[in-house]
Chain A
């Protein structure tokens, strides 16, 4: 009986898979299935080109551009297609969108064939050195870097294969503008000291909780502080430099120290945080910050749209939610903010020549004229473009994008972090962030902080000195 049910279950599931698989094939164009049967890659490409041309011509001289996207939400609500009407009219073509829930997984599988759309978000599974095998060059880096931010994200040997469809600021602090203004603070703090003073002012002048720790969910909320570190350093090669100079993780005056000392100092002052850190409620805190019951939370920029959504769902003003840069001034006296690219768009190398040209125009249009990044409240990849309104506090900051680790050091930082069990982004119960927070709650003062960072430094250094990849890199 049990077995029968299990077999029936397996059959049912597999039928569903088969049906969906068939549907997938049904939607992809006929040329794709024919090209799969070809063996030689050269004939495959030429034949593919020919048939694609034929097909597009039969559709009344209109080219069809197939775009793969990860934004299932924007495909479903129709806003992508609506936005593209302008492009279709301008270039007399049809744009078809195909959206994937598990984008990276599904598209990586599709890329083992030649049919993976005409324009697509480049999955990170494609190695930088192999970009040329899959994607059409969009131009040289020297030329594109003048116009676009993040042109180096999908660049190999000076040739750019993909441009970021939008980007975001990577670390900052969410705050309720109304509460901060009510406390008389109109400019975003530039140093840790100013930040703490601002929180104290909020405590005195308003009823709001100045800073909400969300400590019950510390396994991930504590790690939100880590997103401030790069901005606090203002150094695009911060991690690489730390490795090659063999520095301690926490050095007084350095980014890691500064960020977590600020966290420690805030958490140490019970007036600045909520009464019961173990009774916090993440879902509830969204409404509380929208209402102005919470003034400040350190969260990634992804949280802003969630707070805004809750605000509008409850009849509150979503524009009250603001985002401010990491309150640190680098050694050169400037305040930095790290920007990060989202998915980069590339053109399928196997598409027909005229479709490829159209694809390049599409990417240019998407970034420059589509208004997509604006409607998503994100940072446009075009240099000098205006920041979305909620990021007004970032004006005056120096922007930079973290550089990728040099060859030979790829993954070394993470390996040391993991092997030493320091766990910079982790939230295990023995993690330094949690221990710092608990020492702060217990009022252990600077001595408590020092004990923890000393222990972390020695763990980190021991593992780093044993790392073979780093040894080879430094020797060579």
Chain B
């Protein structure tokens, strides 16, 4: 057997079934893998290299400076303090999950037009983030037909400065963010709830459990892994908020986030090395969160 195998020429191997299988797989993968390497792996690798350099966008006079960029990041608090605004989004993510769970439970009960509601609620998630931001820019406008203030005016309220009031604006942005992402959460919860066997419900009904008991004793324990997953995803999202504040307020009035700061350091002040270091720090934070998520899931199983 061995001898015949070695005696076969390359051409014959290519023509054989296994040869064809490998060749086809290889050729099909070639383009996506090449694109992935070109546009993701190489830039990411470069970013890590850049984070140890002092360089501008053109990289003409790049200089290796070791860990200096990281030292600057962790000694000068102007960079890391922009994480503070992530707390708003973090708090918002709990609200988002609770609300999503509530709506998902409602949509799984016997109501009319559940499909239509699902479609409406999921639609914002399909929209481009910039489009969502533009909608909310209009929504929170103070005068000239700002949506929210126009509605409030019907009830006799004076116009409110939603975006310039520093104790309100971040919550407004969080609201926009919830509006956009809640559809995805709901969809995930609906999927999880519907995978629960109807037998259990029947049994519970026979035992005389009410809706509240059914939710806490049956639904919630069954979908806990999904809740945990969504929570982790929300935390990740909270640390890397970008387009909603960037488009709606441009980071003005204390609404800047870490990613906006990174963008400004890189492209306004041409400190690409430092900006890369900031991106690496964000990457590390997300990796840590991901590891926690993996460990958590192992436990669940």
Shortest A156–chain B CB gap in Å is 25
Tell me whether B252 and A429 are in contact (CB under 8 A): yes
Residues of A within 8 A of B269 (CB): 418-419, 421, 423, 426, 428
B57 at interface by CB-CB < 8 Å:
no
- Contact (Cβ within 8 A) A430 B261: yes
Q: Interface range on chain B: under 10, 10 to 19, 20 to 34, or 35 or more?
A: 20 to 34
> Closest chain A residue to B35 by CB distance?
A2
Residues of chain B with a CB closer than 8 A to A442's CB: 166
Contacts of A277 in B (CB 8 A): 164
Q: Could you mark each residue 12-39 of chain A with 1 if its beta carbon is under 8 Å from any beta carbon of chain B, else 0? A: 0000000000000000000000000000
Q: Which residues of B contact A427 (CB under 8 A)?
A: 268
- Report which of A219, A276, A419, A426 forms a contact with B143, defined as CB distance below 8 A: A276
Complex contacts, B261 vs chain A, CB 8 Å:
429-430
Q: Contact between A279 and B144 (Cβ–Cβ < 8 Å)?
A: yes
Could you tell me if B251 and A429 are in contact, using CB atoms closer than 8 angstroms?
Answer: yes
Q: Write out the residue numbers on chain B whose beta carbons fall within 8 Å of the beta carbon of A216.
A: 250
State which of A218, A276, A419 has its C-beta within 8 Å of the C-beta of B252: A218
A436-470 toward B: CB 8 Å interface, digit per residue (1/0)? 00100110000000000000000000000000000
Render A397-438 as a binary contact track against B, CB cut-off 8 A, 1 for contact. 000000000000000000000110101001111100010001
Query: Cβ of B31 and Cβ of A2 under 8 Å apart?
Result: yes
Q: Which of B255-269 contact A (CB under 8 A)?
A: 255-256, 260-261, 264-265, 268-269
Chain B CB within 8 A of A129 CB: no
Q: How far is the CA of A33 from the CA of B255 in the complex (A)?
A: 58
Smallest CB separation, A207 vs chain B (Å): 15
- Docked-complex contact A218 and B78, CB < 8 angstroms: no
Q: A219-B250, A275-B142, A441-B164 are in contact. Are A429 and B264 (CB under 8 A)?
A: yes
CA distance A428 to B146 in the complex (A): 26
CB distance from B246 to the nearest CB of A (A): 9
B271: chain A residues within 8 A (beta carbon): 418
**A3 in the interface, Cβ–Cβ < 8 Å?**
yes
Cα distance A148–B146 in the bound complex, in angstroms: 54
Query: Which chain A residues lie closer than 8 Å to B31 at the CB level?
Result: 2-3
Chain A residues within 8 Å of chain B by Cβ, number = 24
Question: Closest CB of chain B to A427's CB: distance in Å?
Answer: 7
**Cβ contact of B141, chosen from A279, A421, A426, A430, cutoff 8 A:** A279
Residues of A204-249 whose CB lies within 8 A of B: 215-216, 218-219
- Is B270 in contact with chain A by the CB < 8 A criterion? yes
Q: Which of B143, B250, B254, B265 contacts A279 (CB 8 A)?
A: B143
CB pair A430–B142 under 8 Å, yes or no, is no
A423 CA to B261 CA, complexed, in Å: 14
Contact yes or no, A438 B253, CB < 8 A: yes
Encode contact with A along B66-83: 1 for CB under 8 Å, 0 otherwise. 000000000000100000
Contact with B along A265-294 (1 / 0, CB 8 A): 000000000011111000000000000000
Asked if residues A434 and B252 are in contact (CB atoms below 8 Å), the reply is: yes
Residues of A within 8 A of B143 (CB): 275-276, 279
Residue of A nearest to B140 (CB): A278
* Inter-chain contact B78/A430, CB cutoff 8 Å: yes
A278 & B252 in contact (Cβ 8 Å cutoff)? yes
Give complex CA distance A378, B264 in Å: 35
0/1 interface trace, chain B 185-210, chain A, CB 8 Å (1 if under): 00000000000000000000000000
Scoring A218, A421, A427, A438 by chain B CB atoms within 10 A of each residue's CB, the highest score goes to A421
* Residues in chain B near residue A430, CB distance under 8 A: 78, 251, 256, 261, 264
The docked-state distance in angstroms from the alpha carbon of A216 to that of B269 is: 21
Contact with A along B109-147 (1 / 0, CB 8 A): 000000000000000000000000000000001111010
- Chain A residues within an 8 Å CB radius of B250: 216, 218-219, 429
A278 and B160 alpha carbons, distance in the complex (Å):
12
Interface residue ranges of A148-207 to B (CB < 8 Å): none
Q: Report the bound CA distance from A441 to B169 in whole Å.
A: 15
- Considering the complex, give the chain B residue whose CB is closest to the CB of A422: B269
Complex: how many Å from CA A448 to CA B80?
23
Give the residues in chain B near A218, CB-CB below 8 Å: 250, 252
**Any chain A CB within 8 A of the CB of B213?**
no
Chain A residues in 8 Å Cβ range of B254: 438
Chain B 216-272 residues near chain A, CB threshold 8 A: 249-256, 260-261, 264-265, 268-271
The residue in B142, B144, B251, B269 that gathers the most chain A C-beta atoms within 10 A of its C-beta is B269
Nearest CB of chain A from residue B81's CB, rounded to whole Å: 10
Min CB gap B99→A, angstroms: 27
Q: Output the nearest chain A residue to B78 by Cβ-Cβ distance.
A: A430
Q: Which residues of the partner chain A approach B174 to less than 8 Å between Cβ atoms?
A: none
- Specify which chain A residues have a CB less than 8 angstroms from the CB of B265 in the assembled complex: 421
Q: Residues of A contacting B249 with CB < 8 Å?
A: 278
Whether, in the assembled complex, B103 has its beta carbon less than 8 Å from a beta carbon of chain A, the answer is: no
Per the bound structure, the CA–CA distance linking A451 and B284 in Å amounts to 35
Pairwise interchain contact B270-A279, C-beta atoms closer than 8 A: no
Most buried by A among B146, B264, B265: B264
Q: Judge whether B163 is part of the interface by a CB distance below 8 angstroms.
A: yes
Q: Which residues of A contact B24 (CB under 8 A)?
A: none
Cβ contacts A to B, 29 pairs, < 8 Å = A2-B31, A3-B31, A216-B250, A219-B250, A275-B143, A276-B142, A277-B164, A278-B141, A278-B161, A278-B163, A278-B249, A279-B141, A279-B142, A279-B143, A418-B269, A418-B270, A421-B78, A427-B268, A428-B264, A428-B269, A429-B250, A429-B255, A429-B256, A429-B264, A434-B252, A438-B252, A438-B253, A438-B254, A442-B166
Since A276-B164, A430-B264 are in contact, a sample of 7 more A-B pairs with Cβ atoms closer than 8 Å, ordered by chain A residue number, is: A2-B31, A218-B250, A276-B141, A276-B159, A279-B142, A429-B256, A434-B252
Q: Which 6 A-B pairs have the closest CB atoms?
A: A429-B251, A276-B142, A428-B264, A429-B256, A278-B163, A428-B268
Q: Give the interface of A toward B (CB within 8 A).
A: 2-3, 215-216, 218-219, 275-279, 418-419, 421, 423, 426-430, 434, 438, 441-442
